[in-house]
C-alpha cells in the first residue's frame, strides 16, 4: 500500500475539498484585510504574509474538521450545514487560542533569552537643561461688531369710535 493510498483512506475527498476550500477562502479574506493594513502602514508585508498563511491554515483545518465530523455522524441537509458551521467555528476558535498562546510564549521566551533579546539601548547622555520659554500670549479674537438696534415700531393708533 503506497503512501498516497494511506492518506486517501484517512481523509475523505469531501473533507479534503472542504479543507482546500476553507484554506483558500480564509487566506484570501486575511490577505485582503492585511493588504489594507500594509497600505496604511500599520502592518509590515512580512506580518501580512504570516497572518494570511495562518488564517488559511486554521480556516482550512477548521472547515475540514466540520465536514469530517458531520460525515462521521452521517448528518446531511440543513442540519449538516449547521453542524459543519458549529464544529468549524469551535475548531477555529480552539486553533486560534492555541496559536495565540504558543506565539505569546515564544515571544516571551525569545525576549527573555540572551540570543534573541534586542541589544540594550546605549546610555542616554546627561540631560541638558533647556531654558524655559513662555509661550506667546494668545490674542483674543476681535469682538463681533454689534448689530445696530432698529427702533421698535410704535403701535398704530386705533381710531376712537364714539356713538
Q: Is the pLDDT of residue 162 over 50?
A: yes
Residue 33 lies in a domain: yes
Do the domain assignments include residue 121?
no
96 vs 21, 55, 61, CA distance in Å?
19, 9, 11
Any domain includes 158: no
Q: Answer yes or no: is 75 within a domain.
A: yes
Which residues, 6+ apart, have CB-to-CB distance to 34 below 8 Å? 43, 47, 48, 49, 51, 52
- pLDDT value at 123 more than 60: no
User: pTM to 2 decimals?
Assistant: 0.60
Q: Kindly report, residue by residue over 33-70, the tens digit of the pLDDT.
A: 999 999 999 999 999 999 999 999 999 999 999 999 99
| Residues sharing a CB contact under 8 Å with residue 75, sequence separation 6 or more, in sequence order | 83
Number of domain units in the chain: 1
pLDDT at residue 10 in the model? 74
pLDDT in tens, 85-108: 999 999 999 999 999 999 888 777
Residue 88 lies in a domain: yes
Instruction: Give the three-state DSSP class for 98.
Output: helix
**Kind and range of the H or E element at 94?**
helix 77-112
Name the 3-class secondary structure at 119: coil
Which residue range is the domain that position 37 belongs to?
A: 8-112
Q: Does 139 reside within a domain? A: no
Asked if residue 73 is part of any domain, the answer here is yes
Amino acid at each position: 500500500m503506497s503512501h498516497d493510498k494511506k492518506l486517501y483512506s484517512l481523509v475523505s475527498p469531501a473533507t479534503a475539498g472542504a479543507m482546500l476550500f476553507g484554506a483558500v477562502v480564509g487566506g484570501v479574506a486575511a490577505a485582503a484585510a492585511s493588504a489594507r493594513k500594509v497600505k496604511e502602514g500599520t502592518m509590515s508585508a512580512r506580518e501580512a504574509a504570516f497572518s494570511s498563511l495562518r488564517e488559511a491554515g486554521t480556516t482550512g483545518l477548521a472547515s475540514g474538521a466540520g465536514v469530517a465530523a458531520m460525515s462521521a455522524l452521517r448528518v446531511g441537509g440543513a442540519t449538516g450545514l449547521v453542524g459543519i458551521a458549529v464544529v468549524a467555528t469551535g475548531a477555529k476558535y480552539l486553533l486560534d487560542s492555541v496559536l495565540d498562546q504558543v506565539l505569546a510564549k515564544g515571544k516571551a521566551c525569545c525576549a527573555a533569552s540572551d540570543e534573541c533579546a534586542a541589544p540594550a539601548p546605549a546610555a542616554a547622555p546627561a540631560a541638558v537643561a533647556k531654558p524655559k520659554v513662555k509661550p506667546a500670549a494668545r490674542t483674543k479674537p476681535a469682538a463681533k461688531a454689534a448689530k445696530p438696534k432698529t427702533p421698535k415700531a410704535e403701535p398704530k393708533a386705533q381710531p376712537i369710535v364714539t356713538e
